[in-house]
Structure 1
Amino acid sequence: MLRILIVASLITLQGCAAALVAGGMGVASSVHDRRTMGTQIDDKTLLARVNNLLAESPEIEEYAHINVNVYNGIVLLAGQAPNDDLRNKAEQAAKSVQHIRKLHNLIRIGTPTTAGTRTNDVWLASKVKANLLADERVDGLHVDVMVEDSEVFLMGLVNANEANVAVDIARNISGVARVVKAFEYMQQ
């Protein structure tokens, strides 16, 4: 029933789809999350710490565009940096935060994306999330979605079948250039 309500809302409120998917699902996903409430809070704290450290670097702030996601102590860095030095500087800043279990540095070398590209990324993320929530084969609440320059990054605590279904859903959405798995796998 919840999935039907979400999909109906997204269709009706297309202009607010990203806000609905990203913000409106917060309470439902927190209760339904496979992580403990303490781990969810820890992840939000780690996210804030990594973002703060990146913001403290004037070079990163001015010349790079980096998004951060944290799930179950695993940090994902994605975006663009003009050179390896800034990419590595961002990685070292993130690694300096205590209690990170693993770090995926998927920052691409290149010019930071434009506002138009970032707007498209938000739209793609909402389409991917809505399709995950609407599909009966996977519980979309167990999959975090981040999009950078039309690349979809998927995180979550899932089994192998759920990961494969989520990737299949994401890669078949128009506009998605590539799907990258950063899942943590559960025992089946």
Structure 2
Amino acid sequence: MIKQFTPLLIATLILSGCAVSNNQSEGPKTRRDMATVIADEQLELDAIKAVFDSDELWSKSDIDIVSFNKTVLLVGQTPTASLKQKADSLVKSIPGVKRVFNEIRVAAPTSTLTYLGDLSITSKVKTALFIDDNLDSAKIKVVTEDSEVFLMGLISKEEADKAISITRNVSGVKRVIQAFEIVK
């Protein structure tokens, strides 16, 4: 199935400015190689399909799925704890998933205004991370849901602490949840 999506995935990655490097001079592996980036895109598609195939989960919930280095983040809203658990179980059963951060809230779906505010917060966080000269923001993926900011990436403990500190000081951020994979 991955062969069907490869041209589309590569075009999407190029257009989205996704950070990919095979440069081994950076020390420990701090970036995903192209195969991992494509695998992450496939994991997202597989997870979306699993949620879509569950009529009750799909029709009653508003769930976003993000994969980074085979770690999957689930955010959004669902009306019951059992549907939250069902989404978690479905995604964990997908081959290739290393870890799942289930941050789905048992709540009503957020409004369009909240969604637009989240886009603004994501933009402000990415900008704040980018302008810090001591941090390589290309290693960090930022996801915002209902003013909560989720940070993902392959970074050192020091970089994680710096990114969290910067993000906490961005206007509009209610909470920072780190889903980093710490590398030495």
**Normalised by the shorter chain, which TM-score bucket?**
0.7 to 0.9
* Partner residue in 2 for 1:129: 126
Cα deviation digits, residues 128-169 of structure 1 (max 9, x gap): 111111111211000000000000000000000100111111
Structure 2 gaps, min length 5:
1-12, 23-29
Measure how far apart 1:23 and its partner are: 8.0
Cα deviation digits, residues 18-65 of structure 1 (max 9, x gap): xxxx985515x2348711111111111111111111122222222211
Measure the CA separation in 2 of the matches of 1:128 and 1:107: 21
Aligned ranges 1:29-178 → 2 under 5 Å:
29-31=19-21, 34-178=31-175
Measure the CA separation in 1 of the matches of 2:15 and 2:125: 16
Q: Percent identical across equivalent pairs?
A: 38
Q: CA RMSD in A?
A: 1.7
What stretches of structure 1 move > 4 A for 4+ residues in a row? 22-25
Measure the CA separation in 1 of the matches of 2:21 and 2:96: 23
Cα deviation digits, residues 5-29 of structure 1 (max 9, x gap): xxxxxxxxxxxxxxxxx985515x2
Measure the CA separation in 1 of the matches of 2:163 and 2:60: 33
Measure the CA separation in 1 of the matches of 2:68 and 2:96: 12
Q: Which is helix-richer, 1 or 2?
A: 1
AA aligned opposite 2:175: R
AA aligned opposite 1:26: G
Asked if structure 2 preserves the Cα contact closer than 8 Å seen for 1:63 and 1:112, the reply is: no
What count of residue pairs does the alignment treat as equivalent?
165
Cα deviation digits, residues 48-97 of structure 1 (max 9, x gap): 11111112222222221111111111111111111111101111111121
Aligned-partner SS, 1:30? coil
**TM-score between the two structures when normalised by the length of structure 1:** 0.82
Structure 1 gaps, min length 5:
1-21
Q: Could you say if the C-alpha distance between residues 78 and 23 of structure 1 is closer, same or farther in structure 2, counting changes exceeding 3 Å? A: farther
